[in-house]
Structure 1
Amino acid sequence: MFFSMMIFGLVLSTALLVVYSLTYFNIESGMEEKLTPFECGFDPLSKMRTPFSTRFFLLVVLFLIFDVEVALLFPVLSAFYSSSSVNILMVVSAFIAILLFGMFHEWNEGALDWISQ
């Protein structure tokens, strides 16, 4: 089993390298603009102190926080399906309640409103 998975990994990585080498485009064919870095609409060589929307920054931070917390739910849910325990159900319910409380708090504070009134 392990040997066949190792062979499959080697074949897949070799196939990806072959596809990449066959589809690689020439830099001198007018693709210089596509190779430049793109950072959310900002020119990477512009001034670093240009103002940006703090509401957008706050929304991104909230998204990352809730995204990581949801990612933490997946192992717990898999443990719940492997053994039906009331303790696991209580822990998951408390975790989701804390998430919902935080989301409703941010909603009441107006942090989730994209357009300010």
Structure 2
Amino acid sequence: MNLIMAILSTASSLALFLPNVSFSLPKMYAEAVKLWPYESGFHPLGCAGLSFSLGFFLVAFLFLVFDLDIALLLRLPWRDHLHNATGTFYWATTLLLYLTLRLTYECTQGRLEWAE
């Protein structure tokens, strides 16, 4: 019980002490150069808030999906030793077939074209 009280009192005293110390320390103000969008010293040439095209995000998303698929399928050789190896094979084939059909659908719709 004494250990729990010591931990609680230490935690509560630190919770009260540290914010008071941080507010009492002198404020440090940033230089004008540090407030620029880029700290290299060069002014940005264009708008920093330009958005990427939607095609870029779609290709990045497809890359992540197929990367995850590969990570899931890499464990398949070790799953063959399970009692239900045919079930594992059917699930993996279904997943690959679904992703292949989805990728061909995206290609036929023209959503993976960079030039618009």
TM-score (norm 1): 0.49
Q: Greater share of helix residues, 1 or 2?
A: 1
The TM-score normalised by the length of structure 2 is 0.50
